[in-house]
């Protein structure tokens, strides 16, 4: 199940999640938290979904089918975070992957300032794993992160809030490195840089594929490796869309 915002350009958000989950042979259930009006240039408007409707979407799904895993993406408001935290506790959801979406790659805030504090206080302690990129890890720690060493330090600090941590390093200089910290060990997942501007949706694809592999009962290091490889393939097979950055293609393969 994915709980995230809608991207009208079809490249990221709930649309990317559904493509990813379906491509891997699983069934995608969802709750939409916000609707954005956006294209490759940026976000023009964002409409938040009322908290009551967000809760109702989640509850109707969970009362019918218990998901193998849950992934959260764009949450937008503090109220939304409260509602999701309540649902996680009420339904005793354990395999929760939190993608701490804060800012769109095309520009525009996807989480209000008041939501960052509640993300750390309410949602991360309930998560199995959180998957920030370098920018998001910097917001969560209050530090600038530019190197693998700083990624390790940030992962340890975020782990102190409760979850396992995967920091994705697609914006590092040189090779791309994702780091998983499980509270005891640092696991590195490396790949040569893919020279492309078609990366819109890559963070959504990574977290959605990680959640899907977790739902398929892979342990966290193996699920992270599979998500790392899957996302790289999605980037390699990306394509241009509009005048700015193109999108990744997560349906390049089936399960």
Q: What is the pLDDT along the chain (255 residues), one digit of tens a residue?
A: 999 999 999 999 999 999 999 999 999 999 999 999 999 888 999 999 999 999 999 999 999 999 999 999 999 999 999 999 999 999 999 999 999 999 876 666 788 888 899 999 999 999 999 999 999 999 999 999 999 999 999 999 999 999 999 999 987 878 889 999 999 999 999 998 999 999 999 999 999 999 999 999 999 999 999 999 999 999 999 999 888 879 999 987 544
- pLDDT computed for residue 229 by the predictor: 96
DSSP assignment, residue 123?
Answer: I
pLDDT tens, residue by residue, 184-216:
999 999 998 999 999 999 999 999 999 999 999
Q: What is the largest CA-CA distance in the chain?
A: 47
- pLDDT computed for residue 82 by the predictor: 96
Residues 127 and 97: beta-carbon distance below 8 Å:
yes
- pLDDT computed for residue 238 by the predictor: 95
Residues 247 and 239: beta-carbon distance below 8 Å:
yes
Selection from 186, 176, 183 nearest residue 206 by Cα:
176
- pLDDT computed for residue 107 by the predictor: 63
**How far apart are alpha carbons 81 and 60 in whole angstroms?**
18
**How far apart are alpha carbons 126 and 177 in whole angstroms?**
26
- pLDDT computed for residue 253 by the predictor: 59
Residues 235 and 248: beta-carbon distance below 8 Å:
yes
Selection from 140, 131, 113 nearest residue 167 by Cα:
131
For residue 178, with 0-12 CB atoms within 10 Å meaning exposed, 13-18 middle and 19 or more buried, which class applies?
Answer: buried
Fold of 2-236: 3.40.1190
Continuous segment of H or E residues that includes residue 159:
helix 148-159
- pLDDT computed for residue 172 by the predictor: 82
- pLDDT computed for residue 254 by the predictor: 45
pLDDT tens, residue by residue, 90-132:
999 999 999 999 987 666 678 888 889 999 999 999 999 999 9
């Amino acid at each position: 199940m994915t709980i995230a915002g809608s991207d009208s350009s079809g490249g990221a958000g709930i649309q990317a999640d559904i493509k990813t989950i379906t491509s891997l042979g699983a069934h995608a259930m969802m709750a939409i938290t916000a609707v954005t009006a956006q294209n490759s240039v940026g976000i023009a408007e964002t409409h938040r979904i009322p908290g009551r409707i967000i809760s109702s979407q989640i509850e109707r799904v969970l009362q019918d089918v218990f998901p193998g895993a849950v992934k959260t993406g764009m949450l937008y408001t503090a109220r939304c975070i409260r509602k999701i935290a309540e649902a996680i506790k009420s339904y005793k959801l354990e395999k929760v992957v939190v993608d701490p979406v804060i800012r769109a790659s095309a520009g525009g805030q996807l989480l209000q300032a008041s939501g960052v504090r509640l993300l750390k206080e309410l949602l991360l302690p309930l998560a199995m794993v959180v998957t920030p990129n370098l920018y998001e890890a910097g917001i969560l720690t209050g530090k600038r992160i530019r190197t693998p060493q700083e990624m390790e330090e940030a992962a340890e600090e975020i782990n102190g809030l409760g979850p396992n941590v995967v920091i994705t390093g697609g914006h590092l200089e040189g090779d791309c490195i994702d780091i998983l910290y499980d509270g005891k060990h640092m696991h590195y997942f490396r790949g040569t840089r893919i020279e492309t501007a078609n990366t819109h949706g890559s963070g959504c694809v990574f977290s959605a594929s990680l959640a899907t592999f977790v739902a398929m009962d892979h342990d966290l290091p193996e699920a992270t490796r599979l998500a790392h490889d899957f996302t790289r393939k999605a980037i390699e097979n990306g394509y241009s869309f509009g005048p700015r950055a193109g999108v990744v293609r997560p349906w390049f393969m089936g399960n």
